[in-house]
Amino acid sequence: MSLSDDQRAEIAEQRDARAETRRAVAPGLEARLYEVLPVLDHGFVRAIDYMGDDEAIVQAARVSYGRGTKAARNDEGLIRYLMRHWHSTPFEMCEIKLHVKLPIFIARQWIRHRTANVNEYSARYSILDKEYYIPAAENLAAQSNTNRQGRGDVLSGHEAQRVLDLLRGDAEQTYAHYEEMLSDDGKEGLSRELARMNLTLNTYTQWYWKTDLHNLFHFLRLRADAHAQYEIRVYADAICELTKAWVPMAYAAFEDYRLGAANLSGPAMAAIRQMLDGEDVTQENSGMSAGEWREVMGALGRSI
C-alpha cells in the first residue's frame, strides 16, 4: 500500500490534533484514530470517528444518568448477558465511522450489509487512481467442487502465473483506455461518468462507512468467519482489531458468543443429546440434511 506525501501529511496532522470534550472516550481507539491499517496490496482501513464505549452500552441497558454506578465486573457481566441473549439495542448506542479503501468487487459484496451510512468516492466527478488489486499467488484458487460460493485447491505453477498475467494485463489495458477516453489532448474527452464503465472490478475505490456496534458485530460475524471470502475477511480482521481497542468488554463477549460459537437447530440439539446418551447417531437418522450434518460435525470437531 502506498500513500502520497500529501496523504501522509494529512494523516499526521489529524493524529496530532487534540480537542477537549465532555464526551466519553475510549482510550484504546483514541490511540488508533486516523491510523492507516494496510489491507491487501493497496487497500486500508482507518477509524475516523466514534461515539460511545463499553460504559455507554451498560448505561443504555440500565437507562441510568451516571457513569460508573456499578463495579467494572458487573458491567462486563451485563454486557456478556446482553450478547448471550441477543439484546441488540444497547449496542446500537455506539457508532463508528471508518475510511476504507477497497477493490470495487469487494465493495459490491460489502454494500449488501444495508445497515450503515455510506459515502463513496465518486468517479463521476473525480478520476480514479491507477490502482487495482492483484492477488498473491497463494490466494489464487480454483472453484470449489462442493461450494458454489467458495474456493477449492490453490492454483500453482504455470496456471497461477497465467491467471496473474491476465488479471494484470486486463487492468492495465482498461485503465489505459480509461485515460485515453478522458484525454483532452487536442480533442474533447468522454465524460467521466461514462468513461468509468470500462474499468475492471479490481480497481480500487474508497468510502466512508458509518455503522452502529450492533450492526458492526453482525457484519464481523459473517465476514471475519473462516468461510468468508479472503479479500473481505482481511478487511473484517482489521476492523476487529479496531473494535477490540474501542469496546474491549463488548468485543470479548462477541468473540465468545458469536465468532467462537455455533448456532444449532432443534434436530442438531436432539442428535447431540442422543450422542451424549451413548446412542449411535448418523446423518440418515439425525433428521438433518447432509449439509447441516457436515456443519454440525465440523463444529463438534468430528470427522465424517
Give yes or no for a contact between 233 and 198, defined as CB atoms under 8 angstroms apart.
Answer: no
Beta bridge partners of 85: none
With CA atoms as reference, report the closest residue to 199 among 112, 103, 100, 99.
103
Residue 204 cell numbers, joined: 480500487
Task: Report the sign of the C-alpha dihedral through residues 113, 116, 117, 118, in that order.
Answer: negative
DSSP state of 203: B
Query: How, if at all, do strands 204-212 and 141-143 pair?
Result: unpaired
Alpha helices of 91-141 — where are they, by DSSP H? 104-110
* Distance between CA atoms of residues 74 and 60, nearest Å: 14
Q: Collapsing DSSP states into helix, strand and coil, what is residue 103?
A: strand
Task: Determine how β-strand 95-103 pairs with β-strand 37-39.
Answer: unpaired
CA–CA distance, 259 with 220 (Å, rounded to integer): 8
Cα 302–chain centre separation: 29
Does the annotation count 258 as an active-site position? Answer: no
Number of Cβ atoms within 10 Å of the Cβ of 194 = 11
| Active-site position among 46, 196, 223, 258 | 223
Catalytic residue IDs = 223
